[in-house]
Amino acid sequence: MENTRIHAEAAESEARISEAEKEQAAYALAELVRSPSDPDTLIMPGADVEAIRPVFELGWAMGVRHGHTGPALAGVPVDRGTVARAFVLLLSERPAARTAPDLPDAGPVVWQRVRYHGSLRSRHGLYWTGAIHQYALESGAAELRYDLCEIRDDRLETVVSRVRRQSLTPLPEYRAGV
Q: Encode pLDDT of 151-166 as tens digits.
A: 888 788 999 999 999 9
Q: Encode pLDDT of 128-150 as tens digits.
A: 998 888 888 888 888 889 999 99
CATH 2.40.10 domain range(s) in the chain: 103-174
DSSP codes of every residue in 93-136: T-HHHHH-TTSS---PPTTEEEEE-SS-GGG-EEEEEEEEEEEE
Domain 103-174 = CATH 2.40.10:
yes
Is the pTM higher than 0.85? The answer reads no
Closest by Cα among 61, 77, 75, 78 to 20: 61
